[in-house]
Structure 1
Amino acid sequence: MIEIERKFLVHSETFKKEAFKQTRICQGYLNSHKDRAVRIRIKGDEGYITVKGASSKSGLSRFEWEKQISLDEAEALLNLCEEAIIDKVRYEVQVGKHVFEVDEFFGDNTGLVLAEVELTTESETFIKPEWLAEEVTGDVKYYNSQLSKNPFKLWKS
């Protein structure tokens, strides 16, 4: 139940040609506190409820619990979520022995593209594809729960 991942900005669309899968995701938050979040997600035609805890000091790991729920339940729960809904397409890209999940955001977060790679240990090494840019692991403003409160469009000067 501990999730270990690293997160990066993405500087090109090359990943799209390398993706073996893409899925539309719509998600909202019943609770989007930085120390704990309760997320409702529709991924393709499947529903999920997820609880995430606070990140470790390094920002690499945190508690995560997820359970699949029916699409009808997810749609009903999305109506109870905080105002902003995250809309994105997730591309899955195999790089060496790891799968990178690359999220292209829409709506108020249009222009933001983030890649995550899940690891089995905090010290695990992985191949970094050329389309990765700055690492933003542990930077709370890039958490989806925070993007729903302070969207990318508000960051631009």
Structure 2
Amino acid sequence: MEHLEIERKFLVRSNDYKEEASSSTRIVQGFLNTDPDRTVRVRIKDGKGYLTVKGSSSDSGTTRFEWETEIKGTEATNLIDLCEDVILEKIRYEVRHGNHIFEVDEFMGENRGLVIAELELEHEDEVFQKPEWLGEEVTGISKYYNSQLSKKPFKEW
């Protein structure tokens, strides 16, 4: 199936990733719909807007349908006003390790204190090198999904 996202998520156990990061970007995002079968996200990153639709996750939690399109930043700002519950704010660090790029999200606001690393893969059983700062795997644990963090933020756990 086209538009499949294969991704693994991990907690981060130290700030060492910041020294290895090639870039950092502020992201603001909200959810127009958080139904697990069809999540609809609005994101503003570098002044550009993005509308993303994600399907339900596979049994392993690693694979799901994802479709995304760029929209005007002003349109994204207007859509953020329509989003559910908590608006997520985070700084995303891109860190190359071995042959892969980890996206490390340091959450702000109501999710401050939570740092999650995501890794996109070509296939579910792809081998990758784990950096020292990578902690426990949380792939498929729904409370770590951004859509769920917008409903029940980290500070409420």
Q: TM-score, normalised by structure 1?
A: 0.97
| Whole-Å separation in 2 of the counterparts to 1:45 and 1:100 | 22
Alpha-carbon shift at residue 134 of structure 1 (Å): 0.4
User: What is the deviation of 1:35?
Assistant: 2.3
Q: Which of 87, 111, 114 does residue 113 from structure 2 map onto?
A: 111
Aligned match of 2:130 in 128, 131, 136?
128
Equivalent in the alignment of 2:151: 149
- Structure 1 runs (4+) greater than 2 angstroms displaced: none
Kindly provide the amino acid, as one letter, of the partner of residue 75 in structure 1: T
Q: Could you say which residue in structure 2 is the equivalent of 1:66?
A: 68
Partners of 2:42 and 2:54 in 1: CA distance: 12
Of 101, 114, 138, 2:103 maps to 101
Rounded Cα–Cα distance in structure 2 between residues aligned with 1:12 and 1:105: 14
Once the two structures are superposed, the pairs formed by residues 43-54 of structure 1 within 5 Å of their partners are 43-54=45-56
Are residues 1:85 and 2:87 paired?
A: yes
CA shift digits 1:25-46 (9 cap, x unpaired) = 0000000122221000001211
Superimposed CA distance per residue, residues 29-85 of structure 1 (whole angstroms, 9 cap, x where no aligned partner):
000122221000001211000000100001110000000001011011111111210
Which ranges in structure 2 are unaligned for 5 or more consecutive residues?
A: none
1:13 paired residue among 3, 12, 15: 15
Percent identity of equivalent pairs: 63
Gaps of 5+ in 1: none
Match of 2:24 in 1: 22
